[in-house]
Amino acid sequence: MIAPPKNTTLVDWVESLIIKDIRENEMKSGTEIPNELELAEKYDVGRNVVREALSRLRMLGIIESRKRRGMVIAEPNVMYGFQKVINPHMLSKETILDLLGMRVSLEIGCAKIIIHNITDQDIEELKQIVAKEDVIDSLKVNIEMERAFHSKIYAISKNRVMLDFLNIIIPVFKYVNENFDYFDKFNKAGSSNRRYVRHRDLIPYLEARDIEGYRNAVEDHLSAYIDYINHFNETGKTGKNKF
């Protein structure tokens, strides 16, 4: 038997070999894969090793078992792995801010798609959401209202991956607001240095189908996060600033 790389378990190794075979053979959803015995013989390992490796792949949604067909390639939910591991309490500040940066880029970048897809009914639903917003103070919005508004915006994009990402990032957003004390400085600074854009302030741009106006308004809406991320990239990693 060919030995796995140093510091790699047999199960990890077999799992990586199966994934490699799937990629190199360009297997599509529904393609059958060899059974446990065949894989054990192919990789010269015990069936229990193969069984555990396959179990991991099932958990990741890469393969699935079907009656009378055995194991086949599945169409995985690309965000499933993220959902399993993204717990803000387990992540470093750098990783949390990288995730926030992804959210900022997505929301600003999808402006054209949102304007193209939005309907009058969507706008009415957004108005109903903002009418219910329970403002905690002049700068913070209830997290459930945040989820409701942006879930609707992401749904308008008709991009399921984006909507799944929002459901992952909302707990991170909440964690930053509740645990990053230094973030509040940027929240307050943003309200004085830039226009303060609330959810309700975005709606007129959506009604007017104003792509550039909406994109700029979203950037201002998220300005505290943008400034916070930029400040951390410039000073936080060098230890010049304590968070």
> Which residue type, as a one-letter code, is found at position 96?
I
CA distances to 1, 22, 55, 57, 62 from 36, rounded to whole Å, are 17, 15, 11, 13, 16
Check: CB of residue 61 under 8 Å from CB of residue 79.
no
Half-sphere exposure of 96 (CA within 13 A, CB side): 21
pLDDT at 1 over 60: no
pLDDT at 130 over 60: yes
Give which of 98, 205, 200 is closest to 145, Cα–Cα: 200
pLDDT at 195 over 60: yes
Domains of the chain, start order: 10-73 (1.10.10.10), 80-238 (1.20.120.530)
pLDDT (average), residues 173-189:
67
Confidence (pLDDT) at 80: 66
Confidence (pLDDT) at 100: 86
pLDDT at 186 over 70: no
- Which residues are CB-contacts of 115 (< 8 A; sequence separation ≥ 6)? 206, 209, 210, 211, 214
> Tens digit of pLDDT for each residue in 6-22?
778 999 999 999 999 99
- Which residues are CB-contacts of 63 (< 8 A; sequence separation ≥ 6)? 33, 54, 57, 71, 72, 73, 74
pLDDT at 242 over 50: no
> Tens digit of pLDDT for each residue in 70-113?
889 988 776 766 666 677 788 888 888 888 898 899 999 999 99
Check: CB of residue 38 under 8 Å from CB of residue 17.
no
Instruction: Please calculate the CA angle 56-61-66 and round it to the nearest 5 degrees.
Output: 95
Q: Write down how long the chain is.
A: 243
> Tens digit of pLDDT for each residue in 27-72?
998 999 999 999 999 999 999 999 999 998 988 888 998 887 788 9
Judge residue 170's burial from the number of C-beta atoms within 10 Å of its C-beta, 0-12 exposed, 13-18 middle, 19 or more buried: middle
User: pTM score > 0.75 for this model?
Assistant: no
Mean per-residue pLDDT over the chain, rounded: 83
Which is more confidently placed, 117 or 97? 117
pLDDT over 90 for what percent of the chain?
Answer: 39
Instruction: Please calculate the CA angle 24-27-30 and round it to the nearest 5 degrees.
Output: 165
**Separation between Cα atoms, residue 152 and residue 174, nearest integer Å:** 18
Q: What 3-state class would DSSP assign to 3?
A: coil
Residue with tokens 């942006």: 150
Confidence (pLDDT) at 141: 55
